[in-house]
């Protein structure tokens, strides 16, 4: 089947099965094009709670589909590729987090949504890159263990100096690759371009940026900034939304391979198969859902940034 035939079949099946397709901005263009909702991890978590569909097909990495399941336990949540995992999320286990908490004593555990669900079950509150600063600022407690991204954690630390933030040593392999040399070269080639980077980028790169924000933050920044050229420091899938909204603007991505291979595992074929065979279903036991729900709901209830 060619991609047009596949897309038609997916749209037909979606209607027949009362399904909704959610896609993260890092998905391949074909998937973003036919998704009902495109968004960053916070927007997709919020949207999932508003849906009345029987099936949610989550085109993203597994922790995102797990979050949707925790928030919508009565729905069938599918992920087209079960091994579409996030290496950053895999850098912290529940046992390691509990051990660190014991070492530190009285500490609030803030976990980035890029954690596996069992880590969420022992967390006090979750955050995404869009609301991490607000989440940490909203806490009454002074001491925070921020899990697992050290770059986002250090960014939060800079923004909320009144808190004592202990960092986990995790990182996103895609954003960690960005270097000052890369960015310097791009800036020399495009001296009028504004620089917008994701907070998962290393500190030295963030310090050279005009704007630091989540994927939706970067999209909003580009939409409202009256400049023709932008250097973008995040996964290249974001270009789809940037180009839809800003056909006249030019974009240059930092790094030669700013691709999250896990996000790219989902294809039109696997999405079609997921809808047809209703695979792969995210299954979580009741206790896990109850425990993980608390920090996620606490996050979702915090005022939008």
- Smallest gap, in angstroms, from Cβ of residue 39 to ligand 13P? 8
Q: Is 263 in the site for ligand SF4 (CB under 6 A)?
A: yes
Q: Which range binds ligand SF4 by CB under 6 A, 85-93, 185-193, 213-221, 292-300?
A: 85-93
Q: Looking at residue 168, what DSSP letter applies?
A: P
128's contact among ligand 13P, ligand SF4, none, with CB below 5 to 8 A by partner kind, is ligand 13P
289 in helix, strand or coil? helix
Closest C-alpha among 164, 200, 202, 169 to residue 183: 202
Does 174 engage in binding with ligand SF4 (CB under 6 A)? yes
Q: Please, what is the angle between helix 62-71 and helix 41-50, to 10°?
A: 30
Q: Is 235 in the site for ligand SF4 (CB under 6 A)?
A: yes
Contact with ligand SF4 (CB under 6 A): which of 61, 144, 222, 300?
Answer: 61
Q: Provide the token pair at 91.
A: 């850098």
**Any residues with CB less than 8 A from the CB of 217 and at least 6 apart, and which?**
129, 130, 211, 305
Question: Which phi and psi (to 5°) does residue 34 adopt?
Answer: -100, 0
CB under 5 to 8 A by kind: which of ligand SF4, ligand 13P, none does 107 bind? none
Phi, psi of 230 (to 5 degrees): -135, 140
- Which partner in ligand SF4, ligand 13P, none is near 262 (CB below 5 to 8 A by kind)? ligand SF4
User: Considering the complex, what minimum distance in angstroms separates the CB of residue 301 from ligand 13P?
Assistant: 18
Structure token pair of residue 200: 């998962």
Q: Does 232 bind ligand SF4 (CB under 6 A)?
A: no
Interface with ligand SF4 includes 119 (CB under 6 A)? no
- Tokens 């206790």 identify what position? 287
Q: Smallest distance, Å, CB 60 to ligand SF4?
A: 8
């Amino acid at each position: 089947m060619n991609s047009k035939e596949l897309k038609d079949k997916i749209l037909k099946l979606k209607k027949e099965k009362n399904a909704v397709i959610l896609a993260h901005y890092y998905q391949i263009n074909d998937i973003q094009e036919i998704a009902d909702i495109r968004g960053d991890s916070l927007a997709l978590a919020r949207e999932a709670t508003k849906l009345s569909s029987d099936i949610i097909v989550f085109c993203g990495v597994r922790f995102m589909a797990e979050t949707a399941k925790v928030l919508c336990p009565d729905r069938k949540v599918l992920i087209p590729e079960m091994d579409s995992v996030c290496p950053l999320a895999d850098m912290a286990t529940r046992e390691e987090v509990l051990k660190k908490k014991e070492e530190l004593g009285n500490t609030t555990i803030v976990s980035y949504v890029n954690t596996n669900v069992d880590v969420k079950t022992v967390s006090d509150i979750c955050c995404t890159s869009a609301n991490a600063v607000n989440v940490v600022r909203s806490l009454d407690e002074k001491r925070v263990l921020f899990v697992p991204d050290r770059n986002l954690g250090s960014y939060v630390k800079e923004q909320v100096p009144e808190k004592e933030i202990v960092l986990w040593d995790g990182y996103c392999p895609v954003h960690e690759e960005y270097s000052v040399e890369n960015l310097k070269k791009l800036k020399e080639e495009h001296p009028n371009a504004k620089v917008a980077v994701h907070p998962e980028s290393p500190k030295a790169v963030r310090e050279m940026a005009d704007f630091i924000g989540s994927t939706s933050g970067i999209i909003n920044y580009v939409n409202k900034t009256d400049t023709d050229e932008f250097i973008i420091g995040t996964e290249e899938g974001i270009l789809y939304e940037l180009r839809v909204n800003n056909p006249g603007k030019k974009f240059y991505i930092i790094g030669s391979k700013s691709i999250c291979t896990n996000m790219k595992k989902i294809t039109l074929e696997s999405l079609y198969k997921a809808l047809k065979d209703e695979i792969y279903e995210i299954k979580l036991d009741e206790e896990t859902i109850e425990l993980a729900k608390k920090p996620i709901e606490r996050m979702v209830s915090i005022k939008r940034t």
